[in-house]
Structure 1
Amino acid sequence: MKQRPIRVLQLGSPAGLYGAERWILALVRHLDPAKVESVVGVIKDDPGKADPPLIREAAALGFQTVTINAPGRINLSAVRRLRQYIFANKIDILHTHWYKTDMIGFLAVMGTRCKIISTPHGWSKEAGFALKCYEMMDRMIFPWLDAVVPLSPELYAGLEKKFFVKKKLTFIQNGVDITEIQACKNVHPQLIQWKEQGFFILGYIGQLIHRKGLDVLFNALSMLDKNLPWKLALVGDGPLRPFLETLAKDLEISENIMFFGFQGHRLEFLNGFDVFVLPSRLEGIPRCLMEALAAQKPVICSDIPGSAELIKDKKTGYIFKSEDSKHLLQKIVSVSTHHPEAKKMASTGKQKVCNKYSAGRMALAYERLYTQVL
């Protein structure tokens, strides 16, 4: 008798389509459907909002989806509803990707045959007291999960020091959906217009939050030579947007910066960038950086461990000292004035991502893990 595919419920965040959500979509697209049947779900904590972007995107790709409505930060009714769904749909593995889904998922599978795997995508560097407590509680349940798969070597090393977690750890190299990037050839009309007007275009795709270090980038841009015509495209949204808009005005660079907000077709922006900049204070292995490399774009990033895993200075991109706006300024000038060198680095970076960080390679490793935990 032919064995049915392993049924895996990927439980993600109801927020926008950022790194973790893109990661889930890349994984399910590359898992062999003959071996793994994927369901994509979220716990929706705000009933007033529209369908979560992750759910809309997964449904558009043809995957089964589930939205569990449970208003509030921690609502125990989510445990009951998730448990009911697991039983009704014969879910074999619950794969969680966020402190909230980890904790609710852990309670939901207790006493069932369903296994649970967590993929930590990173911890908050400057979290408030409440968030620190939630993340600490998250790590405390790791020893009771069936597997914990940190997204980067740094996350793995941090958890490896915790004796009771160590035996549950598995490292699987992060991956990016290269086929999706190669399939997109379009460039956003606004960026085409900027290019025709002779602007040097810097770009960023991601959340507008403090740990992304965008204030460092703004300070660097305020020191750029007035003879270099430039524009900065910010694709994404977040709570820091009002602060950044005010900062741009104070630094007298607001006319050069456009906030595009969240965009479903982010690759059309990426295709139009002359350089992708990621000035983060903390990252795992950032997907946006991998996507930029896969699109063969010159990149500049801070010298934090997650980014340094991908970028070797003056080989696959440019690295500047974290928080150092003047050093970042030097790197921006280098990219804008040394085009052949920047393009050569971009080509080397693309080759590295294609060889080592493909979503196909990552999916094969997860297929093996799913089989092992069962």
Structure 2
Amino acid sequence: MTIGVAMVMHDFYPSVGGAQTHTLALSRALRARGVDVIVVTRPYPGAASYEEVEGIPTYRVGVSGGRAIAGWSYLIAGLAVLLRERRRYQILHCHQMISPMTLALMGRALPGKRLVINPHGRGPRGDVAKITRLRPLTGKLRVAAALLWGDAFVAIARDIHHELRTMGVPEARIWDIPNGVDVERFAPATPAERQALRRNLHLPDTPLIMFAGRFTVAKGLDILLNAWAQRDAVLADARLVLVGDGELRERLVQQAHSLGLDRSVIFTGSTTDTAPYLRAADAFVLPSRTEGMPVALLEAMACGLPCIATRVGGSAELIDDEQNGRLIAPEDVDALVRALPEALSMPVWGERARQRIVERYAMDAVAQTYIGLYEAALTHGRSLMARDGTV
């Protein structure tokens, strides 16, 4: 039997973020294994209401506007798509636990459908916190519906597993499956390839420490800029490259200017393909205040970069401190100042990081684990037993 999966999510390509990047890569890998995948998501400025993204049918439904209008239109139009395409899928795989989960729960009422719930964030800004604490009126209803109709829950990090248990999800319905990365596309560059990439990206031929992600409070870029302003003299010729965009962009540009960093910090703008930037870099830094299982860190480690990350969420599962990278406390400017030159001086960290990703987080193995989950959900429904998805 061919498995069909409807990925239900808030944002998707060309929107840039960890959940979007992971879901696109997972969908590609699933399709390569004969799984029929469609995506149902919200509108994106300038993007068509329907297109095939790398061969994946993508439906952008609803209208923009106030929260209530956008939310209800997404649910109504999304349900219409799920009804119309109901013969194409048996699995509803929802990413995040607010409106995507609500839509997926509605689709779960259709005959023969199974529901996989996949939170991507943890902590005070994470999925479980949003549904249990930030939505006091509707949260209890959504939790009750999720516990009743969710056939399986995916924990991409240990913290999220714990939060799901706290929410009341039975252990038997939680599958520990990390985010994955395409280890062929994200691979170390040779010196010649690195130089060519820098020329194409208009980056200087000098030590480059890179960040890639959304410019949000959670990513801690204000801390990074403060640390960069205090960096050691050994980094005088280095450049900090910030790849991405977000609501804090203008504030961060102003902060860099006020700290006298105009010449040493490069804002590249948004991109839908971080691989060339990461392969052009010498090291990577992720100064987050909170994380789920950070896709950007997975990608950087797969590229063989020595990485610095804060000890939050899945980052602490990926990095063994001073073995394959450097872990520091969030908000610790002094520790970040000390770690920056360390990363450039420890290429062996990058070699070990690459090995860790290839062994445990390669997308091919992650996709195969998801197929096992889908098959178990179709066979056993909510009575399926949990399985450790570590790959």
Secondary structure, in 3 states, of the residue corresponding to 2:135? helix
Residue 202 of structure 1 corresponds to 209
Residue 352 of structure 1 corresponds to 356
Secondary structure, in 3 states, of the residue corresponding to 2:314? helix
Question: Which amino acid in structure 2 is aligned with residue 172 of structure 1?
Answer: I
1:301-354 per-position Cα deviation (integer Å, ceiling 9, x unaligned): 112242110011111011222211111111112234x2xxx1111111101100
Question: Which amino acid in structure 1 is aligned with residue 153 of structure 2?
Answer: V
Please report the TM-score for the alignment, with normalisation by the length of structure 2: 0.83
Structure 2 unmatched ranges of 5 or more:
379-391
* Residue 271 of structure 2 is aligned to residue 263 of structure 1: yes
1:249-291 per-position Cα deviation (integer Å, ceiling 9, x unaligned): 2211122112111112321111111110000011112111111
For residue 177 of structure 1, the aligned residue among 170, 174, 182 is 182
Distance 1:329 1:359, change over 3 A: same
For residue 86 of structure 1, the aligned residue among 68, 82, 87 is 82
For residue 243 of structure 2, the aligned residue among 226, 235, 244 is 235
Residue 116 of structure 1 corresponds to 115
Question: Which amino acid in structure 2 is aligned with residue 304 of structure 1?
Answer: V
1:145-182 per-position Cα deviation (integer Å, ceiling 9, x unaligned): 22111211210112123334544322223211112224
Conserved 8 A contact 1:142-1:148: no
Distance 1:70 1:169, change over 3 A: farther
Residue 4 of structure 2 corresponds to 7
- Count of aligned pairs: 358
- Alpha-carbon distance in structure 1 between the residues aligned to 2:48 and 2:124: 26
Structure 1 unmatched ranges of 5 or more:
none
Moved more, 79-88 or 264-273: 79-88
Compute the displacement of 1:124 (Å): 6.0
* Residue 312 of structure 2 is aligned to residue 343 of structure 1: no
Question: Which amino acid in structure 1 is aligned with residue 3 of structure 2?
Answer: I
1:182-212 per-position Cα deviation (integer Å, ceiling 9, x unaligned): 49856243766511xxx32111100000011
* Residue 216 of structure 2 is aligned to residue 212 of structure 1: no
Question: Which amino acid in structure 2 is aligned with residue 326 of structure 1?
Answer: D
Compute the displacement of 1:136 (Å): 4.5
Moved more, 237-246 or 110-119: 110-119
- Alpha-carbon distance in structure 2 between the residues aligned to 1:96 and 1:18: 16
Secondary structure, in 3 states, of the residue corresponding to 1:328? helix
- Alpha-carbon distance in structure 2 between the residues aligned to 1:165 and 1:141: 14
Compute the displacement of 1:32 (Å): 5.4
Secondary structure, in 3 states, of the residue corresponding to 2:134? helix
Conserved 8 A contact 1:234-1:258: yes
Question: Which amino acid in structure 2 is aligned with residue 349 of structure 1?
Answer: A
Conserved 8 A contact 2:224-2:287: yes
- Alpha-carbon distance in structure 1 between the residues aligned to 2:240 and 2:278: 12
- Alpha-carbon distance in structure 1 between the residues aligned to 2:311 and 2:290: 10
Distance 1:373 1:70, change over 3 A: farther
For residue 76 of structure 1, the aligned residue among 72, 75, 100 is 72
Compute the displacement of 1:299 (Å): 0.6
Please report the TM-score for the alignment, with normalisation by the length of structure 1: 0.87
Conserved 8 A contact 1:282-1:306: no
Secondary structure, in 3 states, of the residue corresponding to 1:263? coil
Compute the displacement of 1:70 (Å): 3.6
Moved more, 154-163 or 317-326: 154-163
Conserved 8 A contact 2:62-2:78: no
RMSD value, Cα: 2.7
Identity across matched positions, percent: 25
Moved more, 76-85 or 167-176: 76-85
